[in-house]
Amino acid sequence: MATLVEDEFPYEKLEEGFTHIFYAAHCNADWLTMLYGEEGNVNSCNENFLHGFLRVPAIANIEDDEKRREVAVFHANRNDVNIFQPNRFTQMEGDITRCVLAPAPAVDDGVGVEFYAEKDQYFVVSNCPYADQQLPFPEARPNPVYVSVFDTGIKPEHPG
């Protein structure tokens, strides 16, 4: 549905073996509380995604409150791409694969990634509430996220 076109991430800032695009989980209030105790019981990307998905018209228009929340939670828990979150996958003893996350290096404003979407889509964007992960929790404050959408006029190729 979307193709990564350009990646401006400064790879030289990553530890060897790490990449920065991660197609999987994100932090949630439960994880933060486990890591930081009651001090960690604050906003998370999961909460941000949940609020964002509740604003998508197809979800917002579900009349049954319980069903609307169920659909929003389903999407908030499963459909994300973490960008600028250093990670690497390792094989542990017993053939268990584990993802190791690391604090993100400082990235200059204006650095980004570009996607080409072949059809109209909704994107829910969340900036990590702890932003500059080089600072101790909870001192870090989020940086703004900038999103630009352009109509390129390029039509997708259809197999003929």
Per residue, what are the HEC states of the chain?
A: CEEEEEECCCHHHCCCCCEEEECCCCCCHHHHHHHHHHHHCCCCHHHHHHHHHCCCHHHHCCCCHHHHHHHHHHHHHHCCCEEEEEEEEEEECCCEEEEEECCCCCCCCCCCEEEEECCCCCCCCCCCCCCCCCCCCCCCCCCCCCCCCCCCCCCCCCCC
Q: How many CB atoms lie within 10 A of CB 152?
A: 7
Q: How far apart are the first and last CA of the chain?
A: 19
Q: Show the low-confidence residues of the chain (pLDDT under 50).
A: none
pLDDT at 138: 67
Q: Name the residue type at position 3.
A: T
Q: Which of 18, 152, 136 is nearest to 82 (CA)?
A: 18
Total-model pTM: 0.72
Interval 7-23: pLDDT, tens: 898 888 888 888 877 66
- What is the identity of the amino acid at 105? P
* Among 64, 91, 77, residue whose Cα is nearest residue 30: 77
**Which sequence spans correspond to the domains of the chain?**
15-102
At residue 56, the pLDDT reads 94
Give yes or no for a contact between 9 and 107, defined as CB atoms under 8 angstroms apart: yes
